[in-house]
Amino acid sequence: MYVSAIGKRIARSLRVVALLTPIFAAVSVACAQGVSQPSPSGISVEASEQVFATLCALDAAGFEADTTALAQMPGRLALRDQLVKMQGPTAEALRAFYRDHALASSGETLSRYITLALVVGPPPQFRFQVDKELLPPDVLAVEGFQELLVSFYREANLGAEWRRIEPEYNRAIARDQATLRRVVTVTNAYLRELLKPSPRTFTVYVEPLVGNRINFRNTGDHYAIVIGTGPQIPVGDIQHAYLHFMLDRLPLQYRQEVERKKELLQAAARAPQLPVPYRDDFLGFADECLIKAVELRLRRLSSQQLDGALAADDAAGFILVRPLVAQLGKFEKAEPAMSYYFPDLIAGVDVEAEQERLKRVTFAALETPPAAEQTDAQPAAEPATELDRLLAIGDQQIAARDAAGAAATFQQILLQYPNEPRARYGLAVASVLGRNIDRATDLFESLVARPANSQDSPVDSTILAWSHVYLGRIHDLESDRDEAVAEYRAALAVEGAPEAARAAAQQGAETAYKPPSRDSGGAPQKP
């Protein structure tokens, strides 16, 4: 059976990983003492004064933090109560800034500030550790907060407060170190990888006020996951982040081998639930599917449970998980570490066989949040109108890359609703698919040029940001780099733009756009 086979493989590999005991001991010492520098292995559990200071500023700004984890941290709870009542110019400026930059989701709002905290240096200056041009889109969206953080740190005397409260954080660190050590041991045993000292780092930061929200980021070779201090340790999220740390470099290292399977992305991109960033990023898509496949093997599922999980991944568009799980079965019987075996793993994926299999796969539709999750600020949606129905049909035609059908649908909508921005955007994307770049340009430009006080239907931030991104790509294809960069920067400046659009705009601002092979002038993005 699968369970016994994988159990024997891990047991045998653990004897090899036992050689790493001195490294794991170093991790434990670093955690227990609250040491901020990386351990010899580059893997650690820590508290971050930058994250602490950022959450303190958000306390004063009015962020609705999860305080349930503070029962065991009376010093931090008392400080929060004090910061909420803080008065003064900087506190008022923080509140105004937070209101102006708040998103509909408090989790997405917090994510931006956590990202900022992970790319700034230590107090009291909080200087950015990378050039401004390389800052993540999340950080650019809250540009100006860093200067407020410098002033607030000084006025609230957060240096002294951190030294007073740090022992409470260290107790939380000590609790989580065993979990991280277990994740590293089991994962590396399965991958047959030995940890060696290197510049790469993986850090679990503990911060009670993030609650159940998990924030995972990587900047170059530095991976970080920020977790709360509640009773349930998010082991699965830590393991997923650690697998990214271990596996992300392999698709890049073996780019040519991976891209030979790229035709499969055309099928995956038709799945409504597949996250937008993966629709034109096959390396990232393959990487995520590999991580999901390894997670399934590590969970020691029964055959029935494994079949159910693979069916769910297929329905969501992660169609490479199933063949990669099959190839991992062969890896488990081999000897080389994953870093050496990976080319054979990818070579084992039969594109033609998968294309034939996918003809029988039905992708799941986008899910609507259940009524129980809706708040007073987000009332239940009204029944779909005829306009909504037609827009959905057009979106489905775009997902199926039916340019002519989508164009006809959106043109029909515009006959009845001539100023509907969603239909105009859909027709623009359909024009990209149909290689009618002149019409696409005119439509995108009409969307970004619409005055804010127009009597027509407003253009929401998602459509506005993606329209700028598409115009940037069109200018890049016409070798008009200055105009392209201007459009990408305009997309980054759109308040409330989705993170996928910001990521695409940031990438475009850094590197001129080149359409993937077999693509139609840039993979369409559904806002």
Mean per-residue pLDDT, 71-97: 92
pLDDT of 126-183, one tens digit each? 999 887 777 787 888 888 999 999 999 999 999 999 999 999 999 999 989 999 999 9
Please say whether the beta carbons of 470 and 522 come within 8 A: yes
Alpha carbon 399 to chain centroid, angstroms:
22
Work out the mean pLDDT of the chain and round it to a whole number: 83
Structure-token pair, residue 525: 């993005």
Q: Considering Cα of 128, then 134, then 138, then 144, what sign does the dihedral take? A: positive
Which residue ranges make up each domain of the chain?
Answer: 2-227, 248-358, 384-510
Q: Count Cβ atoms within 10 A of the Cβ of residue 93 and give its class: 0-12 exposed, 13-18 middle, 19 or more buried.
A: middle
- In order of 199, 219, 220, 500, 511, the CA distances from 130 in angstroms are 16, 9, 10, 21, 17
3-state secondary structure of 347: helix
Q: pLDDT tens digits, residue range 465-516?
A: 889 999 999 999 999 999 999 999 999 988 877 777 888 888 889 888 877 5
pLDDT band at 441 (very low <50, low <70, confident <90, very high): very high
**Average pLDDT in the 316-338 region?**
96
Is residue 510 within 8 A of residue 451, CB to CB? The reply is: no
- What is the C-alpha separation between 320 and 310, in angstroms, rounded? 10
Distance, in Å, from the CA atom of 80 to the CA atom of 88, rounded to the nearest integer, reads 16
Go through the chain and tell me how many residues it has. 527
Q: Name which of 78, 48, 83 is nearest 62 in CA terms.
A: 83
Contact between 117 and 44 (Cβ < 8 Å): no
d(CA 20, CA 192): 12
Q: Whole-angstrom Cα distance, residue 243 to residue 338? A: 12
Report the CATH number of the 384-510 domain: 1.25.40.10
CA gyration radius, the chain: 25
Which residue do the tokens 């038709």 mark?
A: 270
Task: Convert 201-235 to b/e letters by CB count within 10 Å (16 or more is b).
Answer: bbbbbbbbbbbebbbbbbeeebbbbbbbbeeebbe
* 109 confidence band (pLDDT: 50, 70, 90): confident
Convert the pLDDT of each residue in 216-266 to its tens digit: 988 888 999 999 988 889 999 999 999 999 999 999 999 999 999 999 999
pLDDT of residue 198: 84
Contact between residue 314 and residue 306 where contact means Cβ atoms under 8 Å apart: no
Neighbours of 357 (CB within 10 A): 15
Give 328-370 pLDDT, tens digit per residue.
Answer: 999 999 999 999 999 999 999 999 999 999 999 999 876 543 4
Distance of alpha carbon 456 from alpha carbon 24, whole angstroms: 62
> Which pLDDT belongs to residue 32?
35
Rounded to whole angstroms, the Cα distance separating 475 from 487 reads 9
Q: What are the start-end ranges of the H helices in 73-157? A: 74-84, 89-101, 106-119, 137-141, 145-155
Task: Kindly give, in sequence order, each residue whose CB lies less than 8 Å from that of residue 493, ignoring residues fewer than 6 positions away.
Answer: none
pLDDT exceeds 50 at position 520? no
Report the half-sphere exposure of 21 (CA within 13 A, side-chain side).
Answer: 5
In percent, the amount of the chain with pLDDT more than 90 equals 49
Provide the β-strand partners of residue 216.
Answer: 225
